[in-house]
Structure 1
Amino acid sequence: MSGEAGPADAAKTGADAGAAPLTERGARTRARIVAAAREVFEERGFLDTRVAHITRHAKVAYGSFYTYFPSKEAVFLEVADRLFQEMTQHDLLPAAGPSPAARVRRANRGYYEAYRRNAKMMAIIEQVATFNVEFQELRRKHRAGAIGRSAKAIERWQRAGLVDPGIDAEMAARALAAMVDHSLYLWLVQGEDAPDTQRLLDTLDDLTIRALGLQA
């Protein structure tokens, strides 16, 4: 990966195998660096961010950064990993709820709220995804988990006679996730002209419900 090289004796991140456990103070410092990194990435973008920008914003010594992260790429991966965990906890088709259609509506609104909160970082993520292979793999891992859970929900509904058994559950989950995700990206990140939010979400709900043949 390209980027600033850390000191030769920089310690591995706390997440690395064999790393010593962090003290309470160390954990607080690390968390402050991660929080500051996110704010700096959102302000400057990934390419223009330097470790010095992050440490200055976190109010820690420059060398302290390398106690916890070997590079700005490493802290970016941690920021992105946390963001993906928040984003993908809202399954497209959650298991619990009064009815499948109600679950779809609740999930779409949960995902919209998460996307809206993270819109600035989502823009940076799209930038980094074009050239960072390690980051691409991280995004694929989280996306695959969410799609897999949605596919299992479709399969359950197929067994219950609620969805056409001829539908490919995995491909349906992928296609529906892409529709929702890209629609929100254009709306919240690109600022593309669109109907009001409620109309957009209602339409995404209707398209998902009708695609699966669910009772509204």
Structure 2
Amino acid sequence: MPSEPEPAPLTERGARTRERLIAAAREVFEERGFLDTRVAHIARHAKVAYGSFYTYFPSKEAVFLEVADRLFQDMTENSLVPPAGPSPAARIRRANRAYYQAYLRNAKMMAIIEQVATFNEEFQEMRRKHRAASLGRSARAIARWQRAGLVAADLDPELAARALSAMVDHSLYLWLVQGDDAPGTERLLDTLDALFVRALGLPDTP
């Protein structure tokens, strides 16, 4: 079967309308949750005619995927272990703080993300791809430190990256989304840094 033709490029005005719909969708999802949001809510919030919504997105699910894709890009823009810095421990500290700031920007949507992840397979696949790319960068950093003799050679870089990422991610989720009582930002981040560095056996130097 012939493939469907690519949609025509948007005009400047069309691009602005599409961006307005994406921004409105995020705000409505954060306010109502995914299940209770309707296309009519998004269109009204964006001040766009109901029928015009479908010029840009075929469904509520499609605009949600766009919102989520941008969120994941923001969350994983800085991998858990950035490639350069004065020392491995300093890189980890910088990455954890960058991730905290990204999580703080996106905390309201993260609750919706977890809701949709329980039933939408297309969304689950998108999240896996973003996470795999970020974890891959972290695993490669750990492997470099192994070659430099800083991390034990018998440690699996990918599994270590997954475990340490899960520790940071879930700690921030419980604190920023679920509202768990925490002793303060710096104390929490310092603790996560220390656990990360010591788990890998890295020298704790600035």
Q: TM-score range by the shorter chain?
A: over 0.9
Whole-angstrom distance in 1 between the partners of 2:17 and 2:5: 20
**Unpaired runs of at least 5, structure 1:** 1-15
**Unpaired runs of at least 5, structure 2:** none
Map 1:169-184 onto structure 2 (within 5 A).
Answer: 169-184=157-172
1:30-52 deviation per Cα after TM superposition (whole angstroms, max 9, x unaligned): 00000000000000100000000
The match for 1:10 is none
- 1:25 maps to which of 4, 13, 25: 13
The match for 1:39 is 27
The match for 1:205 is 193
| Cα distance, 1:17 vs structure 2 | 6.3
The match for 1:104 is 92
Q: Name the Cα RMSD after superposition.
A: 0.9
Whole-angstrom distance in 2 between the partners of 1:82 and 1:17: 25
Alpha carbons of structure 1 residues 78 and 101: separation in structure 2 relative to 1, 3 Å? same
Whole-angstrom distance in 2 between the partners of 1:205 and 1:125: 26
Alpha carbons of structure 1 residues 132 and 197: separation in structure 2 relative to 1, 3 Å? same
Whole-angstrom distance in 2 between the partners of 1:155 and 1:20: 45
Alpha carbons of structure 1 residues 110 and 17: separation in structure 2 relative to 1, 3 Å? farther
| Cα distance, 1:173 vs structure 2 | 0.3
- 2:132 maps to which of 144, 151, 160: 144
Question: 2:107 is matched by which residue type in structure 1?
Answer: A
| Cα distance, 1:90 vs structure 2 | 1.7
Identity %: 80
| Cα distance, 1:194 vs structure 2 | 2.0
| Cα distance, 1:197 vs structure 2 | 1.3
1:165-189 deviation per Cα after TM superposition (whole angstroms, max 9, x unaligned): 1110000000000000000000000
Q: Which moved more, 1:90-99 or 1:76-85?
A: 90-99
The answer as to 2:48 corresponding to 1:60 is yes
Whole-angstrom distance in 1 between the partners of 2:101 and 2:25: 22
Alpha carbons of structure 1 residues 113 and 17: separation in structure 2 relative to 1, 3 Å? farther
1:124-166 deviation per Cα after TM superposition (whole angstroms, max 9, x unaligned): 0001101111111110010000000000000111111111111
The alignment's TM-score, normalised by the length of structure 1, stands at 0.92
The match for 1:50 is 38
1:44-96 deviation per Cα after TM superposition (whole angstroms, max 9, x unaligned): 10000000000000001111100010000000000000000000012111111
Aligned length in residues: 201
Whole-angstrom distance in 1 between the partners of 2:202 and 2:109: 34
The alignment partner of 1:207 has SS state of helix
The alignment's TM-score, normalised by the length of structure 2, stands at 0.96
Map 1:49-198 onto structure 2 (within 5 A).
Answer: 49-198=37-186
The alignment partner of 2:104 has SS state of helix
Whole-angstrom distance in 2 between the partners of 1:117 and 1:33: 19
Alpha carbons of structure 1 residues 17 and 37: separation in structure 2 relative to 1, 3 Å? farther
